[in-house]
Amino acid sequence: MLKTFNDPKLFYQFAGSAVKPIFLAAAVLACVGLYMAFFVCPIDATQGNSYRIIFIHVPAAWMSMLIYVLMAFFSLFTLAYGSPMSAVMTRALAPTGAMMCFMALFSGAFWGRPTWGAYWVWDARLTSELILLFLYLGFLALQSSIADRRRADSAGAVIAVVGVVNVPIIYFSVRWWNTLHQGASVSVKGSSMAQIMLYTLLVMVAAFMCYGLGTVLARSRSVILERERRETWARKAAIKGEL
């Protein structure tokens, strides 16, 4: 098992067999989740229909934080052992994380306008999430601007590890400061939402997780090929049409 995750060739094959079923699961979950979000969940008594944005806003925000933590986790291995696959995973995670982070901010803005009366406020939660987007963009810019692969890997790993301090700040911002952004509705202890809305949200979270996993695995395959293109296994597979 561990060998699969540390060997580019084995991981390439494993990811190849996993991508399609995972995307299929994401599509099914998204269909169910969207149906529940628009046709099963009733209109909210205080917020009207704008609350339906929660079903993409919360999953996107959770994914943006989860992906960054994963990037930091893999980056530790890159810095400590220089293991090739950890750098591949960090690179594969970053674009999807940046997309989720942007989506959380964008959907939040379009929820804030009808609810708070403003697209943007310099609230602690919003500002720290914006910093997360800059960390993602900084990571991506750094990786693409350094030609030497190993240097790019370690520079990116440093950003990922140092920047992870921002994630607990985002998470706890609604408790540490008086924010316009509301506190957590869903926690381990329970939820302050109506049951059906909570279930819909959880289905959408599962859909986002599958989508994220699918895109990261698919991208990791391209990253592996880009790095291993001079290796015999990759060249043989290319000629046989087995990539």
Partner 1 sequence: MDFSAVGEFFHMNGHGFYVWSAYGMLAFLVFCEIVTLRKRRVKIINRLTSEARAVRDTLSL
Q: Which two tokens stand for residue 19?
A: 């991508």
Question: In the complex with partner 1, which residue's Cβ is closer, 158 or 225?
Answer: 225
Contact flags string 33-52 toward partner 1, x per CB under 8 A? -----x----x----xxx-x
CA 187 to each of CA 131, 132, 145, 180: distance values in angstroms, whole numbers, following the listed order: 24, 22, 40, 19
Distance of CA 192 to the CA centre of its chain: 25
Among 7, 14, 95, 180, binds partner 1 (CB under 8 A): 95
Residue from 60, 72, 93, 157 that binds partner 1 (CB under 8 A)? 60
Identify which of residues 175 and 229 has a Cβ nearer to partner 1 in the complex: 229
Residue 103 interacting with partner 1 (CB under 8 A):
yes
d(CA 135, CA 117): 28
Site for partner 1 in 107-146 (CB under 8 A): 107, 110-111, 113-114
Q: Which is nearer to partner 1, 115 or 191 (CB)?
A: 115
Would you count residue 20 as binding partner 1 (CB under 8 A)? no
Distance (Å, rounded) from C-alpha 67 to C-alpha 242?
Answer: 30
Q: Could you tell me the smallest distance in angstroms from the CB atom of residue 239 to partner 1?
A: 5
Our finding on whether 12 is near partner 1 (CB under 8 A) is no
Q: Is 243 in the site for partner 1 (CB under 8 A)?
A: yes
Distance (Å, rounded) from C-alpha 219 to C-alpha 85? 13
In angstroms, what is the minimal distance from the CB of 109 to partner 1?
9
CB 128 to partner 1: min, Å: 21
Torsion angle of alpha carbons 108, 113, 115, 118, nearest 10°?
100
Would you count residue 149 as binding partner 1 (CB under 8 A)?
no
Give the x-and-dash track for 202-241 against partner 1 (CB under 8 A).
---------x---x--xx-xx--xx--xx-x-xxx-xxx-
Q: Which residues bind partner 1 (CB under 8 A)?
A: 38, 43, 48-50, 52-53, 56-57, 60, 95-96, 99, 102-103, 106-107, 110-111, 113-114, 211, 215, 218-219, 221-222, 225-226, 229-230, 232, 234-236, 238-240, 243
